Amino acid sequence: RNAGRPILVGTTSVEISELIGRTLKISKVPHQVLNAKMHQKEAEVIAQAGQPGMVTIATNMAGRGTDIKLSPEAKSSGGLAIIGTERHDSRRVDR
């Protein structure tokens, strides 16, 4: 994050996404969460997800047809870093 790369943390459930969000909040790491409870803000969250240093925590709902546009700064910093928290029940989702 300090290198300017945006980070997408993929989770398999709303509960895990919220747990990670609380953990980052306690650690004072700026972040945003996208899950089924936050779907009203989806466009806003996705628009910010490609900005330098942005940490976005998302359930697999965000992976369907979502195009995270990277800023020029984020591209030059190495692009979007993706972290999967666990394997999904459906192997198709892990690809």
Count of other CB atoms within 10 angstroms of residue 56: 22
Find how far residue 94's CA is from the centre of its chain: 15
Chain segment 47-70, per-residue pLDDT in tens: 999 999 999 999 876 666 788 999
DSSP three-state, residue 8: strand
Q: Determine the structural domain holding residue 71 and report its residue range.
A: 7-94
- 12 located within any domain: yes
Rounded Cα gap, residues 84 and 77, in angstroms: 20
Rounded CA separation 3/58 (Å)? 21
Does residue 82 lie within any of the structural domains?
Answer: yes
Question: How many domains does the chain divide into?
Answer: 1
In a domain, 2, yes or no: no
Percent of the chain with pLDDT over 70: 83
Q: What's the per-residue H, E or C state across 37-76?
A: HHHHHHHHHHHHHCCCCCEEEEEHHHHCCCCCCCCHHHHH
- Looking at the domain assignment, is residue 29 inside a domain? yes
C-beta of residue 56 within 8 angstroms of C-beta of residue 74: no
Residue 87 belongs to some domain of the structure? yes
For residue range 83-93, list pLDDT tens digits in order.
998 876 655 55
pLDDT of the residue at 94: 46
